[in-house]
Amino acid sequence: MTKILVTGATGNIGRMTLNHLLNRVPANDIVGLARDPAKAADLTAKGIEIRQGDYFDYEGLVRAFTGIDKVMLVSATAFTDRNTQHENVINAARQAGVRHIVYMPVIHKTGSAFSLPQVTEEDLFVEERLKTSGLIYTLVRHPPFLENVPSYVGGNALEKGVRTPAGAGRAGYACRDDLAEAHAVVLSEDGHENKTYSLYGDPSVSFPDVAQILSEISGRPVPFNAVSDQEYIANLMAAGLPEPAAGFVLLWVHGVNAGEWDGQTGDLEKLLGRKPTTPAEFLRASYAARQLETET
């Protein structure tokens, strides 16, 4: 049987991918990689082997990848020397005899001049390294996460409205769980060798669209209020976000307003075999959960 390893086992996407794999292949064919295996006790309890590994520890990666056929490379966090970490994974996998790497870059439209610092160039670097590595690869490109929409529009949008810089561009957001399930499909099936998927959600929505969805969810008008970049950053900082992080969030919002992630390939739906979670479905569940937390 094929032995599959997922890196970042204790993070959101890694843990979700491993749990979806459990629905598709035997637990003894699944391995997770974690810097601190003790934080993956829940996965170990399900029969998943957890190996210790750090993207900066090349020799440790070679040991962890021994006997592995496929590796899901979960992206390293921005602003952490991603090129060194990702290249270590690719080279260690090749040295250990891994055949196939699946990687999750952020979607970048061909010819687009838009660039996220510490994300776009580093993702393109990995894509090129994989294509010239001699390894089988699959690229499962991500749009922005639906989970980030409440942060993009302001944590108390139901009370103060959607407050973002002006723009009518749309994004095909997808939720992490749907993306993780798509990863599990690619990892557990044949036929995805040397292919690239852009996992847009459907429908794509703008920030004014989000205001309309929230109005329908809450049963009262939720306005869209255009603010300047400076006011947007100030609002995020007032909510507790450090200024550099607030500036990074603003760049994602600029990308949405520019239509950088407004696409529709149908790839996510095809891999899932069903419609992905819509923004309205996700936001309805998210704000219902927030309301319940407030009441309790």
| pLDDT digit string, tens, across residues 27-40 | 999 999 999 999 99
Mean pLDDT of 234-240: 92
Whether residue 29 is contained in a domain is answered as: yes
- Alpha carbons 75 and 119: distance in angstroms, whole number: 9
Residue-level pLDDT at 1: 77
**Which residues, 6+ apart, have CB-to-CB distance to 250 below 8 Å?**
165, 229, 232, 233, 236
Mean pLDDT of 110-131: 96
pLDDT at 113 over 90: yes
Residue 32 CB neighbour total at 10 angstroms? 27
Whether residue 159 is contained in a domain is answered as: no
pLDDT at 293 over 90: no
| CATH code (residue 17) | 3.40.50.720
- Alpha carbons 126 and 40: distance in angstroms, whole number: 27
Whether residue 239 is contained in a domain is answered as: no
Q: Residue type at 132?
A: T
Whether residue 82 is contained in a domain is answered as: yes
Residue-level pLDDT at 194: 98
Residue-level pLDDT at 292: 47
Mean pLDDT of 89-113: 97
Mean pLDDT of the chain: 95
54-60-66 Cα angle (round to 5): 115
Whether residue 85 is contained in a domain is answered as: yes
Q: Counting beta carbons within 10 angstroms of the beta carbon of residue 11, is it exposed (0 to 12), middle (13 to 18) or buried (19 or more)?
A: middle
- Alpha carbons 165 and 150: distance in angstroms, whole number: 15
- The total domain count for the chain is 1
- Alpha carbons 51 and 36: distance in angstroms, whole number: 9
Domain with 38 in it: 4-141
Share of the chain above pLDDT 70, in %: 97
CA gyration radius for the chain? 20
Mean pLDDT of 88-115: 97
Mean pLDDT of 8-28: 98
Whether residue 149 is contained in a domain is answered as: no
Contact, 29 vs 2, CB < 8 A?
Answer: yes
Confidence of residue 286 (pLDDT cuts 50, 70, 90): confident
b/e code 56-74 from CB counts within 10 Å (16+ = b): ebeebbbebbeebbbbbbb
Confidence of residue 186 (pLDDT cuts 50, 70, 90): very high
Q: 3-class SS at 180?
A: helix
pLDDT at 155 over 80: no
Whether residue 266 is contained in a domain is answered as: no
Whether residue 74 is contained in a domain is answered as: yes
Q: What are the C-alpha distances in Å from 235 to residues 101, 241, 253, 259?
A: 40, 9, 14, 23
Pairing type for strands 136-141 and 195-198 reads parallel
